Amino acid sequence: MRGTLSPFRVGMLVFGGLLGLTALEIMAATALPRPLPALAVLAVAKAALILWFYMHLRQLWHEEEP
Amino acid sequence: MSAVPETHAIAAPLRIPRFGLWLFILSESMIFAALLSARFVLQGTYRPAELNQTLGLAITLILLTSSFTANRAEIAIAHGKTAMFLRNLLATILLGILFLIGVVALEWPEAMHFAPPSSGFGTVFFSLTGVHAFHVLTGVLVLIAVYWLGRRGAFGPGRMWGVEGAVKYWHFVDVAWCFIYPTLYLVR
């Protein structure tokens, strides 16, 4: 993904993903009788997106510019 | 004066600061983990019906957008685009302030009526949002300092640790909210 897309575009796609996951959270909270497991998975997915793409977690192993 | 040659200090400048920042973020996340677990221990999945869902979603979207602009600011300065960097950093700061207004000036007075801090849910709600809002406040202050320095040309490609550190902290604040929002507003 990083090799073919500009960092600005990756940032935009991640933002879109975060909005989509937030929409799924709302849907899960309204549609499911016990939404806790689904909400936990969605929250972890959102956090993972931010950690990996916005916080550049892999810099801990590979030195790189954002 | 230092025994470490200056060239050596420049050769691997960011590995240790980055590791230190990640350790700091990890230690900070323990505070949120404790408060989040306290919510379920004390209140289970109980959620007052009066919680303002629209406002909760609005401040969530504001914080997510601020992470997007912070990311753009970081990339911009890495590519030497100072004007774009400053524009996006300013947007991040303003969104951070907007988030604070949403929580402290709008959400808290409302929540006082149906979940005062002396109640079970109120304790959880005000502890979580209060600690988080304090982190947002400190993040905004750090971003203002970075903006001030950025206007004076302190950052550019290869000399942007100040930006990177501040933006990483800002994203951490967003990560924390990714868990706080469903924990307070959505579980039932």
pLDDT digits (tens, 9 = 90+) for B121-167: 999 999 999 999 999 999 999 999 999 999 999 999 989 999 999 99
Q: Tell me, what's the pLDDT at A59?
A: 82
Question: In angstroms, rounded to a whole number, what is the distance separating the alpha carbons of residues B85 and B69?
Answer: 9
Cβ atoms within 10 Å, residue B119: 15
Angle between helices B82-100 and B53-78 (to 10 degrees): 160
A43:B61 CB<8 A = no
Rounded to a whole number of angstroms, the distance from the CA of A24 to the nearest CA of chain B is 11
Element spanning B130, H or E: helix B120-151
| CA-based nearest residue in chain A for residue B58 | A22
B156 neighbors B102 (Cβ within 8 angstroms): no
- pLDDT for residue B38 is more than 60: yes
Mean pLDDT of B93-110: 98
- Residue type for B180, please? I
B1 pLDDT tier (thresholds 50, 70, 90): very low
B48 pLDDT tier (thresholds 50, 70, 90): very high
Q: Tell me, what's the pLDDT at B149?
A: 97
Q: Tell me, what's the pLDDT at A3?
A: 55
- pLDDT for residue B5 is more than 60: no
Q: Tell me, what's the pLDDT at A57?
A: 92
Between residues B7 and B65, which one has the greater pLDDT? B65
A55:B187 CB<8 A = no
Rounded to a whole number of angstroms, the distance from the CA of A17 to the nearest CA of chain B is 11
B14 pLDDT tier (thresholds 50, 70, 90): confident
Window 53-112 of B, Cβ < 8 Å to A: 57, 60-61, 64-65, 67-68, 70-72, 74-75, 78
CA B140-B143-B146 angle, 5° bins? 155
- pLDDT for residue B106 is more than 70: yes
B9 pLDDT tier (thresholds 50, 70, 90): very low
Task: Compute the Cα dihedral for A1, B66, A47, B21 and give only its sign.
Answer: positive
Query: What is this model's ipTM?
Result: 0.90
The answer for A32, left when phi > 0, alpha when psi is -120 to 50, beta otherwise, is beta
- pLDDT for residue A49 is more than 80: yes
Cβ-based contacts under 8 A for chains A and B: 88
Q: CB-based contacts of B15: which residues, under 8 Å, 6+ apart?
A: A63
A12:B68 CB<8 A = yes
- pLDDT for residue B4 is more than 50: no
Question: In angstroms, rounded to a whole number, what is the distance separating the alpha carbons of residues B172 and B170?
Answer: 5
B157:A19 CB<8 A = no
Mean pLDDT of B12-41: 92
